[in-house]
A and B are shown apart, each in its own frame.
Chain A
Amino acid sequence: MEPNQVKSFTERFLKAYDCRIIEQTPDYLQTQLSVKTDKDLVHRPFYWMYVEKMGIKPQPVTLTFAFEPDKAPPKIRSELLSFGSPRFSQILKSAQKNGRFVRLYENDSGRLRRRDESKPYTPWLGVNYKLSYICDQKKDEIIQLGIHLRTGDLLQGFFDRIRNREWSSKLPTHRHIIPALISVPEAVGEMEYFLQGIIEQQDLSWARSAEERMKQELARLDAYYPEEWRMSDELHSEKRQRIRETIRQYHPKVEVEVINAGLFYLDEDVSFHLTPKKHPIS
Chain B
Amino acid sequence: MKSVPIRMDRRWLNTFQNHMETDSGWSTWERFQLALEAAESQIIPDFDTLQCLRSLQGFEPLPHQIKTARRVLGDMRGRAILADEVGLGKTIEAGLILKEYMIRGLVKNALILVPSSLVLQWTRELNQKFQIPAVAHKKEWMWDHCDLLVASIDTAKRNPHRSKVLSKHYDLLIVDEAHKLKNRRTKNWQFINELQKKYALLLTATPVQNDLHELYNLVTLLKPGQLGQQTAFSTNYVAGKRKPKNEAQLRKEVQQVMIRNKRSDGHISFTERKVQTIPITLSPPERELYEGITRFIRDQYRQGMGLKNLLSLITLQKEVCSSRDAAFLTLFKLFQKGEQGKEELSPEVHHLVDLLRRVKQQSKVEKAIQLIQSIDEKVILFTEYRATQDLLLRSLTAKKIPAVPYRGGFQRNKKDWMMELFRNRAQVMVATEAGGEGVNLQFCHHIINYDLPWNPMRVEQRIGRVHRLGQTKDVTIYNFATADTIEDHILWLLHEKIDMFRTVIGDLETILEQLELKEGVEQNLKRIMLESGDDEEIRHRLTGLGDHIRRAREEVETENHRRDVLLDGTQSS
Contacts and interface: CB of A to CB of B under 8 A. Distances in A.
A, B co-complexed:
yes
Interface of A: 1, 5, 9, 12-13, 15-17, 69, 80, 82-86, 91-93, 95-104, 128, 130, 132-134, 136-142, 159, 163, 167, 169, 184-185, 188, 192, 195-196, 199-200, 204, 206-208, 211, 213, 220-221, 223-226, 238, 241-242, 244-245, 248-250, 252-263
A13 B10 CA distance: 27
B425 to A, nearest CB: 14
A102 B19 CA distance: 9
A101 B15 contact: yes
B224 interface: yes
B341 interface: no
B551 to A, nearest CB: 42
B13 A259 contact: no
Interface stretch (B26-34, B146-154, B535-543, B556-564): B26-34
Given A132-B105, A136-B78, A261 B57 contact: no
B392 to A, nearest CB: 31
Interface of B: 1-10, 12-13, 15-17, 19-20, 25-48, 54-58, 73-74, 77-79, 104-106, 131, 133, 169, 193-194, 196-199, 223-226, 228-229
Contacts of B37: 9, 95
Given A86-B133, A137-B104, A224-B228, 19 more contacts: A5-B41, A84-B54, A85-B57, A99-B34, A100-B32, A104-B29, A140-B43, A142-B36, A167-B29, A192-B8, A199-B6, A204-B3, A208-B1, A248-B169, A253-B6, A254-B5, A258-B12, A260-B36, A263-B20
29 contacts: A5-B41, A93-B38, A95-B31, A99-B32, A101-B16, A101-B26, A102-B26, A102-B28, A128-B36, A128-B39, A132-B105, A136-B106, A138-B106, A142-B39, A184-B17, A184-B20, A188-B13, A196-B6, A204-B3, A220-B224, A224-B229, A226-B229, A244-B196, A245-B197, A248-B169, A249-B199, A256-B6, A257-B9, A259-B36
Nearest to B4: A207
Contacts, number: 213
A254 B7 contact: yes
B454 to A, nearest CB: 42
A211 B5 CA distance: 12
B34 A16 contact: yes
Contacts of A238: 193-194
Nearest to A226: B229
Contacts of B225: 220-221, 223-225
Contacts of B10: 188
Contacts of A69: 58
Contact of A184 (B13, B43, B58): B13
A144 B50 CA distance: 26
Contacts of B16: 101, 184, 261
Contact of A96 (B4, B38, B47, B198): B38
B42 A92 contact: yes
A102 B41 contact: no
